[in-house]
Structure 1
Amino acid sequence: MRVVIIGAGQVGSSIAASLDTDHEVVVVDTDAERVDALTYSLDVLAIEGDGASLSTLREAEIEAADLLIASTDDDETNIVACATAKTASDAFTVARVKRTNYLDTWQEAGGAFGVDFMVCTNLLAAETMVRVIGLPAARDVDVFAEGRVMMAEFCVPEGSPVAGRTVAEADHFTELTFAAMLRDGKVVIPDGETTIEAGDELVVIGSPENTRTFAGDLAPGRNEDGKDVVIVGGSEIAVEAARLLEDRGLHPRLVERDPDRARELAEQLAGTTVMQSDATDQEFLQREHVDDADVVIAALGSDEKNLLASLLATRIGVPRTVALVETAEYTDLFEAVGVGAAINPREATAEEIIRLAHDGTPENVAIVDRDRAEVLEIEIADDSVLAGRPIRESAADLPARVTIGAITRDGAFVTPRGDTVVEVGDHVVVFAEIDAIDAVASQV
C-alpha cells in the first residue's frame, strides 16, 4: 500500500514508524528539520512542502496513493489537504481535527470536505481519560467488540496482594486472560508459573466485569467508583470529558480560572458544577472538598500545570489522578512521580488512524506502551489460520509473542482456551509484540 502522510509531528511520525516496514510511505512537512530527521530515521520518502498544495501532492505521487493521512496540528490544513487529494486521486482520505464542530459537520453531511474518515483528537483524548476512571492502577483502557471486551494495562503497585503470586494463583476469573507483562523494558508472554512482581505492567484482556474485579484485587481498598469527578481546566478536552461523564449520568465538578470562560462553560454544561478559581490554590481545593473526589482529571493548558494540579490533588488525599500530557516524552515521568494515568492526545489519534492502514483492516487497534505492542480486534475470515481449528493446533502457525485474549461470537463472550475452536465470523482480540503485528493482521 502506498501511504501519503501530511505532517511529520508526533502523530505523523508515529504513523510513519508503524507503517514504514511493510508499506510504501511518503511524508510531507513544511519543516526542513523534521524532513531531514525522518529521512535518516525511517524507511520513508520525506518531502519538504505544503501538503495542501496540489503541486506538492503530485510530487508525492498522490495519483498512485491508496491512502492519504492529513495529520498536521491545523484542522483547516488537514481538511484542505484531503479535498485537494481528491481532485487528483482516488486515495482514501483521513483527516485529523481537534475541534468537534468539524467532526459534527462531517458526520451530519455524510462525509463532507472530501474526507473519507475523520478523527477528532479532543474527543479521543476525553474518551481515553474517562475510560480509565474507576479502574485502580490502570494506565490505559480500551474497549473492543462493541464494549463486550476490555483491554487494560495495569501497573502492579507496591503492597498489592497480587504481587508475589503466580499468574495461576492470581487468575481465578472465567473471562480474563493475562495477555502480557512489561518488565524491565521487555515484553513477557506469561504462563501459569510466571510470578507477578510489584512494578510490573500487566496487560489483561477480558469481559468488562472480570477486568473491573481484577482491578479491585490488584489495588483493594481504594474504593474508586469514579462517581465524584473533579475536572481541572476548561480546555476543549475538559469540556468533552465533562459531557461524556454527564452522558453516564454523573455530575462532575469543573474548575476554570478565567471568569468569562467559566461563565461560558456553566451555560454549556447543564449537568456540571462549574467553579471559577485557580485549581492550584490549595486552600480553594480544601474549601471545596476536592479531597473527597474519587478522581481528579487535570486538563489545563500546559504539561507543567497538569503535573502540579495532579500532585496537589494527591497531596490533599485524592486517591486517583488522570492528567493530560501534550509532550509524549513526559508520559512516563508523570506516572513515575505518582500521576495515576497520563494521557497523550496525539498517541490516541495515531492509534485510531493506524488501524486503517493495517493489512486485513482490523476492527480496532490499541497501542501498548508507546508502540511496543498492539492489541487488535480481527473478524475471522475463511482464510484465517485460526478458522475451524482449536487454538492449541493453530498456535504453531502464529508468530511468537502473540496471545489470543478474547473471542466474541454472535454477541457473546468466549474465553479462549487451548481446545477452543475458532469459527468464521468470530471477533478475536489478539495481543502481539510490534514486530509480529503485520504477520498477525494478515494471517489471523
Structure 2
Amino acid sequence: MHVVVVGAGEVGTAIAKNLESSHDVVVIDQDPDVVEELTYSLDVLAVEGDGTEIRTLKEANAAEASLVIACTDDDEVNLVICGAARTLSDAFTIARVRRRTLLETWEGSQGAFGVDFMVCTDLLTAQAIFRISGLPAAQDVDMFAGGLVRMAEFEVEPNSSIAKQTVSEADRYDSLTFAGLFRDNEMTVARGDTEILPGDRVVVIGSPDSVRGFANDVVTVCDENRDEVVIVGASEIGYQAAREFEEHGYKPRLIEQDHVRAREVAEALPNTLVMESDATDIEFLDREHVDEADIVIAALGSDEKNLLVSLLARRLGVDRTVAVIENLEYAELFETVGVDVAINPREETAEEIVRFTRSNRAEKVAMLEHDRAEVIEIEVGPDSALTGNAIMDSMDRLPEGVVIGAISRGGSLITPRGSTVLRPGDHVVMFVDADVLDEVLEAV
C-alpha cells in the first residue's frame, strides 16, 4: 500500500517507523534537516516541501496513494492537506486535530473538509487518562471486542501477592491470560515458568472483572472507591479529562490559575468544582485537602510544571499521579522520579492512526512500551493459519513472540486454552512482539 504521511514530528515519524517494513511510505516535511534525518534513519522516501501544495503532493506520488495522513501540528493545515489530496486521488484521508470542536463539526457531516477519518489528539488523551485512572497501578488500559475484553499493563509492587511467583503460580483468575512482561529494557512473552519480579510491568488480557481482580492483587493497598479526582490545569486536555469523568458519573475538582479560563470551564462543566489558584501553592493544596485525592492528573501546558505538580502531590500523600508529557523523551524520567503514569498525546494519536494501516486485518491496536509490543484484535477468516485448529497446533504456524489472550465468539468471551479450536468469524485478541508483527498479520 502506498502511504503519504505529511508532517514528520513525533506522530508522523512514529507512523512512518511502524509502516516502513510493510508499506511504500513517503513522508513530507518542510524542515530540510528532518528530511535528511528521515532519509538515513528510516526506509521511507522523504520529500521536502509544503504538503498543502499540489506540486509537493505530486512529487510524493499522492495520486497513487491508498492512504494520506495529515499529522502536522496545525489543525487547519491538516484539513487543507486532506482536501488537496482529494483533488489528486480517491485515497483514504486521515486528519489529526487537537480541537474537539473541529471533530464535532466533522462528525455532523462526515466527509466534510475532504477528511475520511479525524483523530482528536486531546480527546484521545483524555479518554486514555480516564481508562488508566480506573485501575490501581495500571500503566496502560484498553478495551477490545466491543468492551468484552480488557487489556491492561501493571507495575508489580514489592509486597504484591504475585511478586516472585511464576506465571503458573499467579494464574488463579477466571477469564484472564498473562500475555507478557517488561523488565528494564527487555520484553518477555509470558510462559508458565516465567517469574514475576517486583518492578516488572505485566500485561494481562481478559474480562473486565478479572482484570480488576488482578489489579487489586497487584497493589498492596487498593481502595475500590476511587472517586476523589483532582485535575490540575484547564488546558484542552485537562478540560476534556474533566468532561470525560463527568460523563461517567464523577464529580472531579479542577485547579486553574487563569481567571478567564477558570470561569469559562466552570460554566461548561456543571459537575466539576473549578478552583482558581496556583497548583504549586502548598498552603492552597493543604487547605483544599488535595492530599485526600485518590488521583491527581497534571495537565498543564508545560512538562516541567506537570512534573512539579506530580511530585508535590506525592509529597502530600496522594496515592496516584498521572502527568501529560509532550516530550516523549521525558517519559522514563517522569516515571523514575515518582510519577505513576506519563501519557504522551502524540503516542495516543499515532496508535489510533496506525490501526487504519493494517489493511483491515487488525480491527483494534494498542501499542505498549513505546511500540515494543502490540495488542491487536483480528477477525479470523477461513484462510487464516488459526482457523480449524487447536491453539496449541496453530501456534506452531506463527513466529515466537505471540500470545492469544482472549476470544470473542458471538458476543461471548472465551478464555483461550491449548485445546480451544478457533472458527471463522471469531475475534481474537493477541499480544505480539513488534519485531514479528508483520509476519503475524500475514499469517492470520
The TM-score range, normalised by the shorter chain, is over 0.9
- Per the alignment, residue 370 of structure 2 pairs with 370
- Residue identity in the other structure for 1:157: E
Q: Secondary structure at the match of 2:285?
A: helix
1:76 match: 76
The number of equivalent residue pairs is 444
In 2, the alpha carbon distance for the partners of 1:64 and 1:217 equals 53
For residues 272 and 246 of structure 2, the distance between their equivalents in structure 1, rounded to whole angstroms, comes to 7
Aligned partner of 1:31 in structure 2 is 31
- How far, CA to CA, are the matches of 2:221 and 2:366 in structure 1? 29
Equivalent residue letter for 2:123:
L
Q: What displacement does 1:381 show?
A: 1.2
Aligned mates of 1:333, 1:139 — CA distance in 2: 15
For the pair 1:135 / 2:120, whether they are aligned, the reply is: no
Aligned residue in 1 for 2:22: 22
Does the CA contact (< 8 Å) of 1:134 and 1:225 recur in 2? no
1:333 Cα offset (Å) = 1.0
Distance 2:159 2:329 in 1: 28
For 1:136 and 1:245, the matched residues in 2 are separated by 16
- Aligned counterpart, 1:156: 156
CA contact (8 A) 1:359 1:441 kept: no
The separation in 2 between residues aligned to 1:185 and 1:191, in whole angstroms, is 19
Displacement of 1:156: 1.3
Paired letter, 2:263: R
In 1: Cα distance, 2:417 partner to 2:359 partner = 26
1:333 and 2:326 matched: no
**Deviant stretches of 4+, over 6 Å:** none
User: Which residue number corresponds to residue 12 of structure 2?
Assistant: 12
The answer as to whether partners of 1:373 and 1:434 remain within 8 angstroms in 2 is yes
Secondary structure of the residue aligned to 1:88 is coil
Q: Which amino acid aligns with 1:216?
A: N
Q: Which residue of 1 aligns with 2:46?
A: 46
Deviation at 1:48, TM superposition (A): 0.6
Cα distance per residue 1:20-71 (max 9 Å; x no partner): 0111100000111111110000000001100011110001111111110001
C-alpha separation in 2, matches of 1:120 and 1:339: 25
Distance 1:83 1:341 in 2: 37
Deviations along 1:135-192, whole A, 9 cap, x unmatched? Answer: 1211111111111111111111222221111111111112111100112312211222
1:265 matched residue in structure 2: 265
**More divergent stretch after superposition (357-366 vs 142-151):** 357-366
1:283-322 matches, within 5 Å, as 283-322=283-322
Distance 2:306 2:70 in 1: 28
CA distance in 2, matches of 1:225, 1:74: 40
Distance in 1 (CA, whole Å) between partners of 2:359 and 2:90 is 19
Give 3-state SS (helix, strand or coil) of 1:15's partner.
Answer: helix
Which amino acid in 2 is paired with 1:73? Answer: D
Cα displacement (A) at 1:134: 2.8
Mapped to 2, the partners of 1:429 and 1:403 lie a distance apart of: 9
Distance 2:318 2:282 in 1: 13
Matches within 5 A, 1:112-261: 112-223=112-223, 225-261=225-261
Q: Which runs of 5+ in 2 are unaligned?
A: none
TM-score by length of 2: 0.98
CA contact (8 A) 2:157 2:220 kept: no
State the shift of 1:110 in Å.
2.1
Query: 1: CA distance between counterparts of 2:84 and 2:175?
Result: 48
2 CA distance for matches of 1:397 and 1:430? Answer: 15
Alpha-carbon deviation of 1:384?
1.1
CA contact (8 A) 1:135 1:224 kept: no
Equivalent residue, structure 2, for 1:282: 282
Distance 2:399 2:76 in 1: 42
- Opposite residue 98 of structure 1, the aligned amino acid is R
Match of 1:381, as an amino acid?
Answer: G
Q: Percent identity?
A: 57
TM-score, normalised via structure 1 length: 0.98
**Structure 1: which amino acid aligns with 2:141?**
V
Q: CA deviation at 1:360?
A: 4.0
Return the offset for 1:224: 5.4
Structure 1 range deviating more: 209-218 or 188-197: 188-197
| Structure 1 letter corresponding to 2:82 | C
Q: Deviations over 1:114-135 (max 9, x none)?
A: 0011100000000001101131
The answer for the alignment partner of 2:324 in structure 1 is 324
Query: SS at 2:196's partner residue?
Result: coil
* Contact 1:222/1:319 (8 A) holds in 2: no
- The equivalent residue for 2:425 is 425
Contact 2:252/2:273 (8 A) holds in 1: yes
